[in-house]
A and B are shown apart, each in its own frame.
Chain A
Amino acid sequence: MGGGLAGLMATIKVAESGVAVDLFSIVPVKRSHSVCAQGGINAAKNQKGEGDTTAKHFDDTIYGGDFLANQPLVKRMCEAAPGIIDLLDRMGVMFNRTPEGLLDYRRFGGTLYHRTAFAGATTGQQLLYALDEQVRRHESEGKVKKYEGFTFLSAVLDEAGISRGICAMDLRSMEVKTFPADAVIFCTGGIGAIFGRSTNSVVCTGSAQSALFQQGVDYANAEFIQVHPTAIPGEDKLRLMSESARGEGGRVWVPRNPADKRPAKSIPESERFYFLEEWYPKYGNLVPRDIATRAIHRIVFQEKLGLAGQQAVYLDVSHIPRETLDRKLEGILEIYEKFLGVDPREEPMKVFPGMHYTMGGMWVNAQDQATNVPGILAAGECEYQYHGANRLGANSLVSCIFGGGLAGPAAVKYAKNLDKGADATDASVFAREQKRQESRNQDLISHQGNENLMVIWRELGDTMTEHVTVTRINKNLEAADAKLLELADRFTRVNLSDRTKWSNQTLNFARELGNMLLLARVVTLGALARNESRGAHYKPEFPDRDDANWLKTTRAKYVDGEIKLTYEPVDISMIPPRPRRYDAAK
């Protein structure tokens, strides 16, 4: 389920093993959110003579994640990364090259090495296309069947609680159908829509994760939400300005004098405050995202140095030669130019932090991406495994491909070891689930209420963005949870403005929103409970990391209609935790 990088990689692996695979996706898979990844993909290939190693990549990832990730699988991912780059290279990805025809590498946040392979500033798009092409090839050979334009509604669980397939809705005919499957791999991405506006795509609602959570799949570390330091604010979405802009030498600054009305270019160096470089001399503009985001918030909200009193700072690449910018960053600079009508090669960009990535996600085991419900696996951004309390830039693409690559063969192995497959499951199990989902649709469509979906969504987004992103204060989190309960109550009185039965996007969004409201509570309650600051989770009331009490994974369960938080230890068997500081070399 899901056709982004993780889903496509899992599909390829299953197809290669000769087992039949059905690939479901809301959008044609080539339009999945992975296309939005910009800057690159990390692998310690050490092609710049810096002595980079996979061990250093592993250490940077664990340290960047503030020691919350279980370590063994992260180590395996970092060791696998160079091979993943080779594979993508063989698939024909148009990576940028050095003059001798080898892959070029750039720097990214949270590391001192050139470790990031890239294809312009649209690396995610290029990788997704490569995998999409391979899946299309398998499809043309009859090994893969695609169901594009289908949304996931629920898992089909038998009496023993084993997954026997899925219940999905055809987004054109609005028909609800069940599909038997011995194993299902979920690769359903992030949850940006819960925050209203984010850098995520429209389909990134977390609806599938929430539906599964309500059916018993545990959800881990929900409170860890990455807010990217540099996005362009917009009413419909926050458009990402990749970390690669800083990787290629871009600098973040504000005028030292907030009343300075001069155009940016005419402000002399000495009157510019390069606050990241001053505060973090070792990493400078390439501190990890949580650090950079908090620094920008401090500049704007405490130091009152935002541009013209607004919530914005400069991200400046105008000192970099135009030819270099066009070769390495054109994709993102075009976005800025198109949406704001200003050429960032000439003028510094105005940016502000925006919700970007979901570190938490469905709980999976430490071996092979299996969730706690037999027959359900998860890979990619929708699971919690690889990034701890903060993801490093350019690690998401590698985690998607690695996780998908693990999940595919694991699903095959699980399916082959089943005593009785989905086909032997009683038809009544499927019929019951289909009926349940059909009546849910009927309820929503026939309801005569006075509440508006879009209004509830906006209030959800505003609440989550204000209280559950960069700075978290317990009394605000309590207020946010009360608001979420109020919204869930109002949702029961929602009145759909479209009651037709063909391509009804309103009905689909209503189903998603219902699920979003619940998952938002999992995030909020996780944040409320965690009285420490770690990675992206920052509480001024508890400003320090507290390993004695909180070096543990939050594992939310859904029991009798209630969210229950449980905790389990983090596997720190390989790198002992140490303080995380970016103002000095680690």
Chain B
Amino acid sequence: MAEQKQVIVRIKRQASPKEAASWEEFALPWRPSMNVIICLRDIAENPVTRDGKKTTPVSYDSNCLEEICGSCAMLINGKARMACSALVDSLEQPIRIEPLSKFPLVRDLAVDRQFMFESLKRVKAWIPIDGTYDLGEGPRVAPEVQEVGYPLSNCISCGSCLEVCPQVNTDSKFVGAAIISQVRLFNMHPTGAMHAKERLNALMQEGGIQDCANAQNCVKACPKGIPLTESIAEVNRAAWKQALLGWLLG
């Protein structure tokens, strides 16, 4: 009988933020179309390491499993990406899986990305409607504006762009590319544009757009293909314009 093909997975384990991290290796039965989520579920069903040691199931965040909820971002073979779309057959083995390193760890592969949601508050990433009562239709939007805006609004807040950014670290408060791109989105909407100034001002504070050092890692890491560097350039221009105007008008 042919030997069952195996998938070898190495996972960085950490029981809590206070405890030390260690690596565990697992050997799983290979099946077609396996992804990293299926590997983690296999381990949950039979949490025994490759050398026969009993362990606990791996903690990780996941939800939609089709790369639209943004939950399952992790480091897979050193690369920030979504576990659900990380197909085993396209990965070099042993597959190394680690939590994102730029966010506070919760347990194993689960991290806390609340920072991103707080940043969205900071830049007022919304259209300030007066209320939900009937005020008729919204403003007309040119198809070409929609065609630029829609991809920007595909941001799933996975945190991959922050993970790969050298400017995001424990010493910095940099909000990161995703947030800057959201400012571009809201500032280009006809109603959102009425409040563009506020959002730009927020991005000119500590941790704002001036912290970007143009490494351009973000745009390569984005699983949704959002033109993040284009957004940063666009918002940067607008911010400078606003700063200069403010200076000229005293």
Q: List A residues at the B interface (Cβ < 8 Å).
A: 12-13, 16, 27-28, 30-33, 35-36, 83, 86-87, 89-92, 94-102, 119-120, 122, 125-126, 129-130, 133-134, 136-137, 139-140, 172, 201-203, 234-237, 239-240, 327, 331, 335, 338-341, 405, 452, 454-455, 497-498, 500, 502-506
26 A-B Cβ contacts within 8 A? A27-B69, A28-B113, A35-B68, A36-B64, A36-B68, A87-B129, A89-B137, A90-B127, A90-B137, A94-B150, A95-B146, A97-B146, A99-B143, A119-B153, A133-B120, A133-B125, A139-B121, A201-B69, A202-B63, A234-B65, A235-B31, A239-B65, A405-B132, A500-B56, A502-B107, A503-B107
Is the Cβ of B146 less than 8 Å from the Cβ of A96?
A: yes
The CA of A68 and the CA of B197, in the complex, are separated in Å by 52
Contacts of B127 in A (CB 8 A): 90-92, 130, 133
**Smallest Cβ-Cβ distance to B69: which chain A residue:** A31
Known: A90-B191, A126-B153. A502 touches B15 (CB 8 A): yes
- With a CB–CB cut-off of 8 A, which chain B residues contact A331? 68, 154
Chain B neighbourhood of A498, CB < 8 A: 47, 56-57
Chain A: minimal CB distance from B77 (Å): 17
Query: Within the complex, what minimum Cβ distance (angstroms) separates A147 from chain B?
Result: 12
Taking a contact as CB atoms under 8 Å apart, the answer to whether A234 and B143 are in contact is no
Given the known inter-chain contacts A95-B146, A136-B117, please indicate yes or no for A35 contacting B64, CB distance below 8 A. Answer: yes
Q: How far in angstroms is the closest Cβ of chain A from B151?
A: 9
- The smallest beta-carbon distance between B59 and chain A, in angstroms, is 5
Complex contacts, A139 vs chain B, CB 8 Å: 121
Within 8 A of A (CB), among B12-67: 15-16, 31, 33-35, 37-38, 41, 44-45, 47, 54, 56-57, 59-67
The distance from the CB of B147 to the nearest CB of chain A, in whole angstroms, is 7
Of A98, A137, A454, the contact of B41 (CB 8 Å cutoff)? A454
C-alpha spacing A32/B68, complex, angstroms: 10
- Which residue of the partner chain, among A30, A133, A239, contacts B126 with CB atoms under 8 Å? A133
Q: Which residue of A lies closest to B225 (CB)?
A: A334
CB distance from B89 to the nearest CB of A (A): 9
Q: Which residues of B contact A497 (CB under 8 A)?
A: 44, 47, 54, 56-57
Docked-complex contact B132 and A13, CB < 8 angstroms: yes
For residue A115, give the distance in angstroms from its CB to the closest CB of chain B.
Answer: 16
Residues of chain B within 8 A of A100, CB atoms compared: 140
Any A CB within 8 A of the CB of B186: yes
Taking A27-B63, A31-B70 as contacts, is the C-beta distance between A90 and B38 under 8 angstroms?
Answer: no
A28-B114, A122-B68 known; 5 new pairs, CB 8 Å cut-off, are: A96-B150, A119-B150, A236-B84, A405-B132, A505-B57
B126 to chain A, nearest CB (A): 4
**How far is B132's CA from A83's CA once the two chains are assembled, in angstroms?**
10
Q: Which of B85, B132, B186, B192 interacts with A339 by CB under 8 Å?
A: B85
- B149: A residues at CB distance < 8 A: 94
Q: How far is the CB of A275 from chain B (nearest CB, A)?
A: 27
Q: Is B177 an interface residue (CB 8 A)?
A: no
Which of A87, A140, A341 touches B132 (beta carbons < 8 Å)? A87
B69–chain A nearest beta-carbon distance, Å: 4
Q: Is the CB of A506 within 8 A of B120?
A: no
Flag if B141 contacts A97 (CB, 8 Å).
yes
Q: How far is the CB of A496 from chain B (nearest CB, A)?
A: 9
CB neighbours of A454 from chain B (8 A): 41, 44-45
CB atoms of B147 and A327 under 8 A apart:
yes
- Among residues of A, the one whose C-beta sits closest to the C-beta of B147 is A327
Min Cβ gap B111→A in Å is: 11
Residues of B within 8 A of A502 (CB): 15-16, 107
Whether the Cβ atoms of A235 and B33 lie closer than 8 Å is yes
Residues of A close to B35: CB separation below 8 A: 236, 339
Known contacts being A13-B132, A129-B153, is A237 close to B66, with CB within 8 Å?
A: yes
- Chain B residue at smallest Cβ distance from A36: B64
B70 in contact with A235 (CB, 8 Å): no
A86→B64 contact, CB < 8 A: no
Q: Which residue of A lies closest to B34 (CB)?
A: A235
CB distance from B20 to the nearest CB of A (A): 14
Contacts A35-B69, A452-B45 given; indicate if A203 touches B63 (C-beta within 8 A).
yes
What's the least CB distance linking B130 to chain A, in Å?
9
Cross-chain contact A134 with B146 (CB below 8 angstroms): no
Complexed CA–CA distance, A331 and B154 (Å): 9
Contact A36 B140 (CB under 8 A): no
A101/B191 in contact, CB under 8 A: no
Docked pose: A119 CA to B68 CA in angstroms: 14
Contact B65 A236 (CB under 8 A): yes
Cross-chain contact A236 with B37 (CB below 8 angstroms): yes
Contacts of A120 in B (CB 8 A): 150
Also in contact, A503 and B129, with CB within 8 A (given A92-B192, A98-B143): no
CA distance A13 to B132 in the complex (A): 8
Q: Give the residues in chain A near B85, CB-CB below 8 Å.
A: 338-339
Q: Which residues of B contact A237 (CB under 8 A)?
A: 65-66
Q: Are A338 and B106 in contact (CB under 8 A)?
A: no
Could you tell me the distance between the alpha carbons of A234 and B66 in the complex, rounded to whole angstroms?
11
Choose among B68, B127, B136 the residue with the greatest number of A CB atoms under 10 Å from its CB: B68
Of chain A, the residue at the smallest CB distance from B68 is: A35
Complex Cα–Cα for A101 and B144 (A): 9
Which chain A residues border B67 with CB–CB below 8 Å?
A: 335, 338
Contacts of B70 in A (CB 8 A): 30-31
Question: When A94-B149, A506-B57 are in contact, do A134 and B63 touch as well, CB less than 8 Å?
Answer: no
Residues of B within 8 A of A35 (CB): 64, 68-69, 156
Q: Is B246's CB within 8 Å of the partner chain A?
A: no
A567→B110 CA distance, assembly (Å): 45
Complex: how many Å from CA A239 to CA B149? Answer: 26
Flag if A86 contacts B129 (CB, 8 Å): no
- Chain A residue numbers with a CB within 8 Å of B45 are 452, 454-455
The CA-CA distance from A31 to B155 in the complex, in Å, is: 11
Contact among B59, B138, B142 for A86, CB-based, below 8 A = B138
Contact B141 A101 (CB under 8 A): yes
A335, closest chain B residue (CB): B66
50-104 of chain B: CB within 8 A of chain A: 54, 56-57, 59-71, 84-85, 87
How far apart are B227's CB and chain A's nearest CB, in angstroms? 14
A506 and B143 contacting across the interface, CB-CB below 8 Å: no
| Complex Cα spacing A172 to B126, Å | 29
- In the complex, chain A residues whose CB is within 8 Å of the CB of B113: 28
Q: How many Å from the CB of A567 to the closest CB on chain B? A: 36
Give chain B nearest CB distance to A488 CB in angstroms.
20
> Contact between A236 and B41 (Cβ–Cβ < 8 Å)?
yes
* Residues on the B chain within 8 Å of A240, using CB: 66
Q: Which residue of chain A is the closest to B153 with respect to CB atoms? A: A94
Known: A12-B132, A87-B132, A94-B153. A235 touches B38 (CB 8 A): yes
* Contact of A503 with B16 in the complex, beta carbons under 8 Å: yes
Q: Is the CB of B132 within 8 A of A16?
A: yes
Q: How far is the CA of A92 from the CA of B124 in the complex (A)?
A: 14
Q: A32 — which chain B residues lie within 8 A by C-beta?
A: 63, 69
Q: How far is the CB of B136 from chain A (nearest CB, A)?
A: 6
Q: Does B250 contact A (CB under 8 A)?
A: no
The answer for the CA separation of A36 and B66 in the assembled complex, in Å, is: 8
* Smallest Cβ-Cβ distance to A26: which chain B residue: B63
Nearest opposing residue in chain A for B32, CB measure = A235
- Chain B CB count within 10 A is highest, among A405, A502, A506, for A502
Give the shortest distance, in Å, between A325 (CB) and chain B (any CB): 14
B145-163 toward A: CB 8 Å interface, digit per residue (1/0)? 0110110011011000000
